[in-house]
Amino acid sequence: MLYLDHAATTPVRPEVRDAMLPYLGERFGNPSSHHTVGEAAAAALADARARVAALLGMRAGDVVFTSGGTEANNLAVKGIAIAAALRSGRPAHVVTTPIEHESVLASCAYLERVHGFAVTRVPVDGHGRVDPDEVAGALRDDTALLTVGYANNEIGTVQDVAGLAAVATGGRVPLHLDAVQAAGSLPLAGTGADALSIAGHKIGAPPGIGVLAVRGRIPLEPLLHGGGQERERRSGTENVAGAVGFAVALEAAERERAADAARVGALTTAFIARVLDLVPQARLTGDPVRRLPGTASFTFEGTSGEAVLLELERRGVVSSSGSACAAGSDEPSHVLLALGIPPQVAQTAVRFTFGHAAAPGDLAAPLADAVAASVATVRSGR
């Protein structure tokens, strides 16, 4: 079975598992406990925090460990925006795009519905890119946050982060980058962002651990209240094993990033070219150039995306129709609709995402052949 759904989740790296095991056994302490067992756990947590911060070009105190990317995005969007509103004494304004992950879009909708915020969703072009000049035009005196995905999880389009950072700096607006899909493929340090969200299970750590790195000068209202852990920004007993594993996974992802991007990018490029050559009416979605090296998303007009996925699995290929968070929904992807793709075409989408463990480049031809055969079978109704 060939697994091509790394955008949904990745296998746990062996070195991550090995690093975590002691903290699931004999080193089980609560890092808030003031005895030798707890202090050993606290030391491991502090070490993991410092290692993550170094990779992100931030200070150790900027790193907040969370339960994953969804919580990190919620904490960034709600926490930064609500803190700004509390300082000003009135609801504020948030700028985003319509192709963000559901955790960002739902958080923005919550701010509108519950707290009376104004939210501007700047349109994207047909490739999923947002124009920094249009973002600049959307900023207001009361804008509390600009939140944009570094790279889109469905179509792989990479945004002009430098341009967005320049716009945010010029308008003195905090910039949050949802880097969940970018981690392991794109540089994380030096982006100009004030806050970054990362999920461990996208880079070889297990589900249940993530990071929001937010610069100390940015006020952040906590969403979880209790014992005041994570410098009072995220209460709850810390997941020491997860934090240790996250640090090891991020170090490995950064160490291998350039080589993996070149290898996986070449494989994906060859695969895309062959699919477009073999499959009538196949359309690549997202930016054809500025895209994640391991993402290839197509629409196959005249089919059902779910039916194509079933045919592919019969041929030993596991992929997806888009975001795992929307799996099982009958609604077409909000990302594809924002690109101007008609709903009936959007429902034919299939996404292939290669990871650090992807097979060598000679896989491109047989994989594309399997896609062509699967699409042909669905179109024929056999």
* Intra-chain end-to-end CA distance of the chain, in Å: 23
pTM for the whole thing?
0.95
65/77 Cα distance (integer angstroms): 16
Residue partners of 138: CB distance under 8 A and separation at least 6: 95, 120, 122
379/374 Cα distance (integer angstroms): 9
Give yes or no for residue 314 having a pLDDT over 60. Answer: yes
Give yes or no for residue 316 having a pLDDT over 70. Answer: yes
Confidence of residue 360 (pLDDT cuts 50, 70, 90): low
Residues with a known catalytic role: 325
247/211 Cα distance (integer angstroms): 10
What pLDDT score was predicted for residue 195?
Answer: 98
Token pair of 270, please? 């060859």
Q: What is the mean pLDDT of the chain?
A: 95
Confidence of residue 382 (pLDDT cuts 50, 70, 90): low
Give yes or no for residue 57 having a pLDDT over 80. Answer: yes
21/168 Cα distance (integer angstroms): 42
Q: Which CATH architecture has domain 14-252?
A: 3-Layer(aba) Sandwich (3.40)
Give yes or no for residue 357 having a pLDDT over 90. Answer: no
- Of the candidates 56, 47, 9, the one whose C-alpha atom is nearest the C-alpha of residue 245 is 47
Please state which of the ranges 132-146, 195-209, 297-311, 325-339 shows the lowest mean pLDDT. Answer: 325-339
Confidence of residue 203 (pLDDT cuts 50, 70, 90): very high
Give yes or no for residue 324 having a pLDDT over 80. Answer: no
Q: What percent of the chain has pLDDT over 70?
A: 96
Name the class of domain 257-380.
Answer: alpha beta
What pLDDT score was predicted for residue 362?
Answer: 76
What pLDDT score was predicted for residue 321?
Answer: 87
35-63: average pLDDT: 97
Give residue for tokens 């948030």.
94
- Strand pairing of 195-199 and 175-178? parallel
Domain ranges of the chain: 14-252, 257-380
57-79: average pLDDT: 98
112-169: per-residue pLDDT in tens?
Answer: 999 999 999 999 999 999 999 999 999 999 999 999 999 999 999 999 999 999 999 9
